Amino acid sequence: MVNQKRVLVTGGAGYVGSALVPKLIDAGYKVNVLDLYIYGDHIFGDYSSSPHLTQIKGDLRDPTMVNQAVAGCDAVIHLACISNDPSYDLNPELGKSINYDAFQPLVRASKQVGVSRFIYASSSSVYGVKDEAEVTENLALEPLTDYSKFKAMCEDVLQREREDGFSVVTVRPSTVCGYAPRLRLDLAVNILTNHAVNKRKITVFGGRQMRPNIHIGDMVDLYIHLLSLPSRQIDGGVYNAGYENLSVLSIAELVKATLGLDVDIDITPTDDNRSYHVSSELMKKKLGFKPQRTVEDAVRDLKAAFDNNKIHDPMNNSLYYNIERMQEINLA
């Protein structure tokens, strides 16, 4: 158990946050969550009544809310953002205001109250499309979209704000997969599993494009690991966080094989042949962290959640789909 350190998790009621926050509490941390809670107020179940959880329903762009959220915190894990290109493109001004404009004020507010460690969730999409066999952290960033561009720009801001007593680390996650209390069914593995289970049909657009993946359990464990390491080991570091680079068609075939169901795989041509793959060797060597869970594990976890009725109306419920939910509530 840790010595009752307090951690702010921005976006803590989102997909990764909903799995991370309970594990932080179980590990002995006190947790503040700053989130708009647009996917529901009951994400944390029994943990909602924990004396170690403080939930702050508010906007990252509101300095008063930010100051309230960081007060008394030793560390920040910054997950909050308008996630992925399609969601960002829905309202680019909104995306920029949350993903970029609010970033430096959050970092500076954290420094002002004595936060000693700031962990930033960037994205593996900051590299753009690379021809190199191993996409490592030292390659040039060539983001193709505004979402990725502002992720990269926030990385630069964070490095400039680094100083003695304020350690910073950037994580570039691959596409996360698997079950969480605030579930997303608009991410590659999760989409394919949902369609395989509930429609017995998977549509693959193209299929040869590569996608890096990481199980949500490993993503959560990495953030907790980063809290536990000495500052000298992590300060200023940038790390890819992935496990398996698989083609979209390979993921579809893997989903079908793992489920053991009679599933049709329909391959459809596409003009979008962007292919992403990353190397996570630095994470293993420098941080001593090696993912333990496979894409098959994520598929099995999702299937168990379907079987146990934890997922309601998965094809139509907007709570599982970022774009639909943002449109529904007219987020601005």
Cα torsion angle, 173, 177, 181, 184, sign: positive
Yes or no: is domain 6-329 CATH 3.40.50.720?
yes
**Which sequence spans correspond to the domains of the chain?**
6-329
Residue range 245-259: average pLDDT?
97
pLDDT in tens, 170-202: 999 999 999 999 999 999 999 999 999 999 999
Residue range 134-158: average pLDDT?
96
Q: Quote the CA–CA distance of 313 and 317 in Å, as a whole number.
A: 6
pLDDT in tens, 16-74: 999 999 999 999 999 999 999 999 999 999 999 999 999 999 999 999 999 999 999 99
Average pLDDT, the chain: 96
* pTM confidence score: 0.97
Quick check: 321 and 315 in contact, CB under 8 A?
Answer: no
Quick check: 11 and 35 in contact, CB under 8 A?
Answer: yes
Confidence bin at 165 (pLDDT 50/70/90) = very high
Q: Quote the CA–CA distance of 239 and 169 in Å, as a whole number.
A: 8
Quick check: 159 and 222 in contact, CB under 8 A?
Answer: no
Closest CA to 129 of 279, 243, 274, 241: 274
> To the nearest 5 percent, what fractions of the chain are helix, strand and coil?
45, 20, 40
Confidence bin at 1 (pLDDT 50/70/90) = very low
Q: Does residue 2 have a pLDDT over 60?
A: no
pLDDT in tens, 275-317: 888 999 999 999 999 999 999 999 999 999 999 999 999 999 9
**pLDDT value at position 84?**
79
